[in-house]
């Protein structure tokens, strides 16, 4: 049977039982190694009931937090016969937005923890906004600590209805509600006997079976050059291969393509995967492409199929950003933009507005501070080739880099280019 | 509104909600592409491989003088395989660099030289012994003199000598808690130090390798692989390994803690030592003086995979620890000293 990978994040604070939930998943799926288990048993002995304290499995994180060390995302792994799981675990303190955006950028699914006693709270708004912003395909609203509300189904449905309203506001689509107690193990790995009214799957079963649109192939075919392979040996004198990953869609030998931003057309002469020629390749396969014509192509250039929807090619970018630096961002600031394998200089033209992460209200802003979410306009030194983030997660995201320290200071999700601007550009050409 | 009618409302919501607990029906799914069959067979090892190749090519594209740190262990051998997939038929855009502790198993050195020759790639070897002499350092001493810590000095010297701006290593996040938090592109200052506070957020598959003068980057392309993933990949790709990974008879010192240390010229044998000839294999290939062997009958990659899987099963409900296995885990941790 084919085993694939599900990457997910857990959003919630220690108080929501996040550590216990992760501990429960790791423990019940036997991902805990001997030495850690030993420590766990020893430490849990001090507890009156002698039960294992599963939150200790993520204790390393807590200890560091107490020492005041900034940590953002820790990765944990476990697997079942059906799937390999990668958990991006971001600690849920105040400075959470930046960390969650980081973890969420690669996630297929987000578990949003809601304490059954408190229901949908401010923090739930923030977590859901980030999930919506970063476009996580699947959401699990995990109503935890059901044991503390007597496993009452009304409590669960009331919270689920509240959350549904919130999700509608944000346009979150696929939400699965699960009542659970991570501490007691209800509905995490085994179905709860205490909640017979719940007829859905356990969390683990859901994680194992949720359908992934895993290869990103239903979106338009895009390829970006990472590295040019030129052996320059006697027998391979004319070999010139463009190495990179197919970012989305698929390519076939003989496809008519256009190289952007230059706009030069050509034909795919050959595709190599794993040092062998193939007829067809699909995202996210790493490939080497060969074109029929001798064109000057270098790292960062994009190749798209001519018969597909064409990407935007522009220097004026509107984008949602999450600002990740202690140093604020002001209009007029200069930055570097890394858009996959392309790097360009950019200047901040305008901050349209920032979004209140709790009320979702748009507010005017003269600067962006750490953890702010906002919509801005950038002007780049060279045109970028992209799709809107909503259409294509693998060509619509970029990072902002400080041009002096080279630290990563922001995450950007590109908007569609307004039709009026596309027209203007066409006239300009 | 009374409680009664509220209840009705809630029941109403129930029906709206229940379809949400199941996932998208095939009708709404968009995957009706002709390459569907092919892509559906793209499994987790393909995903891990694709990510690693992507990272290696980013290194080639972003840095001027990268290097691949090669220890002769299974993780760095896997990296070499991935580099072939990323850059052939071209040459590797980096040399292989071995930081030689001088406490090697001869089988590993033989394997190293043979592999480099087969690949036709450049191999740079720098010896800890030379660093000790040059810098007047104190060599490891005692019964099992370790040069694990001293390796770092040689590595830094080598980085300086060749002005490497990126060093690719085979460390994995499942090895240790601290590693679980390290980035795939990990920025180091002039002293090779890792500053957790200055870690760059890593978003999507965009890797920021921009550095200032004097800084360098450690790159870990197989960060998201587990030990089992590596072995499954070795099986799938039929990768040859140094034979000390497989079961063989070996003379060992049995330490009071029950560890098995191979008898080599690098350790000190005392009259009171208990020695034994055992069927052993090594889980990691490190400094011969402090890399313990584990007793195992596993002679093939298949056997080893089975052993790893069974180890997990035996953990189920275990109340007592199996000493031998916990030692193996400790060895895994020691190995991290390298990076």
- What per-residue confidence (pLDDT) applies to A140? 97
Most B CBs within 10 A among A195, A227, A276, hence the mutation to make, goes to: A227
Model pLDDT for residues B77-108, shown as the tens digit of each residue: 999 999 999 999 999 999 999 998 888 888 99
Query: What span, in angstroms and rounded, lies between the C-alpha atoms of A190 and A287?
Result: 42
For residue B183, what are the contacts with CB-CB under 8 A and spacing of at least 6? B199, B200, B202
How far A416 CA sits from the closest chain B CA (Å)?
19
CB pairs < 8 Å spanning A and B: 228
- What per-residue confidence (pLDDT) applies to B169? 95
Query: What span, in angstroms and rounded, lies between the C-alpha atoms of B219 and B58?
Result: 10
Q: Class for domain A4-209, per CATH?
A: alpha beta
- What per-residue confidence (pLDDT) applies to B151? 83
- What per-residue confidence (pLDDT) applies to A181? 94
Put simply, the answer to whether A4 touches B58 (Cβ < 8 Å) is no
Please state whether beta strands A256-260 and A302-305 pair in parallel, antiparallel, or not at all (unpaired).
antiparallel
- What per-residue confidence (pLDDT) applies to B4? 36
A4-209 and A222-305, same CATH topology: no
Provide mean pLDDT across the span B228-240: 95
Q: Which residues in chain B are contacts of A83 at CB distance < 8 A? A: 44
Nearest by CB to residue A231, choosing from B30, B33, B89, is B89
Nearest residue on chain A to B223, alpha-carbon basis: A75
Q: Would you tell me how many other CB atoms lie within 10 Å of the CB of residue A259?
A: 22
Residue B138: pLDDT band by 50, 70, 90 thresholds? Answer: confident
Model pLDDT for residues A118-168, shown as the tens digit of each residue: 999 988 998 899 999 999 999 999 999 999 999 999 999 999 999 999 999
Cα radius of gyration rounded to whole Å, chain B: 24
How far A175 CA sits from the closest chain B CA (Å)?
6
Put simply, the answer to whether B201 touches A35 (Cβ < 8 Å) is no
Collect contacts of A418-422 with beta carbons under 8 A, ≥24 apart. A418/A318, A421/A314, A421/A316, A422/A312
More confident residue, B160 or B9: B160
Q: What is the dihedral of CA A323, A324, A330, A334, to 10 degrees?
A: -110
> In CATH, which of 3.20.20.240, 2.20.130.10, 2.40.30.10, 3.40.50.300 is domain A222-305?
2.40.30.10
Provide mean pLDDT across the span B217-228: 93
Most B CBs within 10 A among A215, A242, A307, A308, hence the mutation to make, goes to: A215
Query: What span, in angstroms and rounded, lies between the C-alpha atoms of A374 and A358?
Result: 13
Rounded to the nearest integer, the mean pLDDT of chain B is 78
Residue A298, classed as helix, strand or coil, is coil
Q: Which residues in chain A are contacts of B85 at CB distance < 8 A? A: 274-275, 286
- What per-residue confidence (pLDDT) applies to A29? 75
CB A86 within 8 A of CB A5: yes
Three-state helix/strand/coil letters over A76-91: EEEECCCEEEEEEECC
Q: Where are the domains of chain B?
A: 44-227, 244-338
Q: Where are the domains of chain A?
A: 4-209, 222-305, 312-428
Query: What span, in angstroms and rounded, lies between the C-alpha atoms of B144 and B147?
Result: 10
CA A54 to chain centre: 27
ipTM of the complex: 0.91
Instruction: Please provide residue B218's backbone torsions phi and psi, each rounded to the nearest 5 degrees.
Output: -100, 135
Residue B158: pLDDT band by 50, 70, 90 thresholds? Answer: very high
Nearest by CB to residue A243, choosing from B44, B86, B212, is B86
More confident residue, B211 or B265: B211
Query: What span, in angstroms and rounded, lies between the C-alpha atoms of B96 and B122?
Result: 6
Model pLDDT for residues A250-261, shown as the tens digit of each residue: 999 999 999 999
Angle formed by the axes of helices A96-104 and A122-134, nearest 10°? 40
Residue B234, classed as helix, strand or coil, is helix
Q: Which residues in chain B are contacts of A2 at CB distance < 8 A? A: 40-41, 43
- What per-residue confidence (pLDDT) applies to B10? 32
Angle formed by the axes of helices B150-162 and B128-135, nearest 10°? 90
Nearest residue on chain B to A397, alpha-carbon basis: B204
How far B4 CA sits from the closest chain A CA (Å)?
12
- What per-residue confidence (pLDDT) applies to A362? 95
Q: What is the DSSP letter of A66?
A: H
Query: What span, in angstroms and rounded, lies between the C-alpha atoms of B181 and B174?
Result: 10
- What per-residue confidence (pLDDT) applies to A378? 98
CATH superfamily of A312-428: Translation factors (2.40.30.10)
Stretches where chain A sits below pLDDT 50 are 63, 68-70, 427-429
How far B307 CA sits from the closest chain A CA (Å)?
14
Cα radius of gyration rounded to whole Å, chain A: 24
Q: Which residues in chain A are contacts of B224 at CB distance < 8 A? A: 75, 77, 86
Nearest residue on chain B to A398, alpha-carbon basis: B206
- What per-residue confidence (pLDDT) applies to A44? 62
Q: Which CATH architecture has domain B44-227?
A: 3-Layer(aba) Sandwich (3.40)
Model pLDDT for residues B302-323, shown as the tens digit of each residue: 999 998 887 754 432 222 223 3
- What per-residue confidence (pLDDT) applies to A42? 64
Angle formed by the axes of helices B74-87 and B106-119, nearest 10°? 0
| Continuous H helices in A191-233 | 203-209
Q: Which residues in chain A are contacts of B58 at CB distance < 8 A? A: 226, 341
H and E: helices and strands count for chain A: 8, 23
| Continuous H helices in A139-221 | 153-170, 203-209
How far A359 CA sits from the closest chain B CA (Å)?
24
Residue A237, classed as helix, strand or coil, is coil
């Amino acid at each position: 049977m084919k085993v694939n990978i599900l990457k997910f994040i857990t959003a919630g604070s220690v108080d929501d039982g996040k550590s216990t939930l992760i501990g429960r998943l790791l423990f019940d799926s036997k991902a805990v190694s001997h030495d850690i288990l030993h420590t766990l048993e020893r430490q849990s002995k001090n507890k009156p009931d002698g039960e294992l304290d599963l939150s200790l499995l993520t204790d390393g994180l807590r200890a560091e937090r107490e020492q005041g060390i900034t940590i953002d995302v820790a990765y944990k792994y476990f697997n079942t016969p059906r799937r390999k799981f990668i958990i991006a675990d971001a600690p849920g303190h105040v400075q959470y937005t930046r960390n969650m955006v980081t973890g969420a950028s690669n996630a297929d699914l987000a578990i949003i923890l809601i304490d059954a006693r408190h229901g949908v709270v401010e923090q739930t708004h923030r977590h859901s906004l980030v999930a919506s912003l970063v476009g996580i395909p699947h959401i699990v609203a995990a109503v935890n600590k059901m044991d503390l509300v007597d496993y009452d189904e009304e409590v669960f449905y009331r919270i689920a209805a509240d959350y549904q309203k919130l999700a509608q506001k944000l346009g979150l689509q696929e939400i699965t509600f699960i009542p659970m107690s991570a501490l007691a193990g209800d509905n995490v790995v085994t179905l709860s006997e205490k909640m017979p009214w719940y007829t859905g799957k356990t969390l683990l079963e859901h994680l194992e079976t949720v359908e992934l649109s895993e290869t990103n192939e239903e979106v338009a075919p895009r390829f970006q050059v990472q590295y040019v392979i030129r052996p320059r040996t006697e027998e391979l004198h004319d070999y010139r291969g463009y190495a990179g990953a197919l970012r989305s869609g698929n390519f076939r030998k003989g496809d008519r393509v256009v190289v952007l931003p230059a706009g030069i057309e050509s034909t795919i002469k050959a595709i190599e995967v794993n040092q062998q020629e193939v007829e067809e390749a699909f995202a996210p396969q790493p490939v080497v492409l060969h074109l029929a014509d001798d064109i000057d192509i270098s790292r960062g250039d994009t190749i798209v199929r001519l018969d597909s929807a064409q990407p935007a090619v522009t220097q004026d970018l509107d984008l949602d950003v999450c600002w990740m630096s202690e140093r604020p961002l002001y209009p007029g600031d200069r930055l570097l933009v890394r858009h996959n394998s392309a790097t360009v200089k950019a200047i901040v033209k305008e901050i349209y507005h920032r979004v209140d992460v709790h009320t979702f209200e748009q507010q005017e802003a003269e600067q962006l501070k750490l953890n702010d979410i906002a919509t801005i306009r950038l002007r780049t030194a060279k045109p970028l080739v992209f799709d809107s983030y909503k259409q294509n997660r693998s060509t619509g995201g970029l990072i902002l880099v400080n041009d002096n320290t080279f630290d990563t200071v922001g995450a950007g999700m590109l908007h569609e280019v307004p039709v009026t601007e596309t027209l203007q550009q066409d006239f300009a050409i | 509104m009374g409680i009664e009618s509220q209840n009705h409302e809630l029941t109403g919501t129930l029906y709206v909600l229940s379809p949400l607990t199941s996932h998208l029906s095939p009708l709404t799914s968009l995957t009706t592409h002709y390459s569907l069959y092919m892509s559906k067979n793209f499994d987790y090892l393909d995903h891990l491989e694709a990510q690693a190749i992507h990272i290696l090519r980013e290194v080639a594209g972003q840095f001027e003088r990268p290097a691949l740190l090669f220890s002769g262990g299974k993780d760095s051998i896997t990296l070499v395989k991935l580099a072939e997939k990323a850059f052939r038929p071209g040459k590797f855009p980096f040399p292989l660099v071995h930081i030689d502790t001088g406490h090697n198993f001869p089988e590993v050195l033989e394997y190293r030289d043979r592999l480099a020759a087969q690949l036709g790639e450049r191999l740079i070897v720098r010896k800890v012994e030379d660093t000790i002499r040059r810098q007047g350092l104190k060599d490891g001493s005692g019964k099992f003199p370790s040069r694990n810590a001293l390796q770092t000095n040689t590595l830094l010297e080598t980085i300086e000598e060749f002005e490497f701006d990126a060093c690719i290593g085979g460390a994995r996040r499942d090895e240790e808690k601290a590693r679980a938090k390290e980035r795939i592109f990990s920025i180091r200052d002039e002293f090779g130090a890792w500053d957790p506070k200055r870690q760059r957020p890593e978003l999507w598959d965009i890797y920021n390798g921009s550095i200032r003068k004097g800084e360098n980057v450690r790159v870990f392309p197989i960060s998201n692989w587990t030990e089992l993933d590596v072995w499954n990949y070795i099986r799938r790709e039929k990768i040859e390994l140094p034979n000390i990974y497989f079961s063989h008879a070996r003379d060992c010192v049995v330490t009071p803690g029950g560890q098995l240390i191979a008898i080599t010229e690098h350790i000190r044998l005392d009259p009171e030592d208990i020695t034994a000839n055992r069927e052993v294999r090594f889980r990691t290939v490190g400094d011969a003086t402090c890399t313990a062997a584990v007793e195992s009958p596993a002679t093939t990659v298949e056997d080893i995979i089975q052993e790893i899987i069974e180890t997990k099963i035996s953990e189920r409900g275990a109340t007592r620890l199996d000493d031998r296995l916990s030692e193996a885990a400790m060895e895994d941790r020691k190995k991290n000293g390298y990076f």
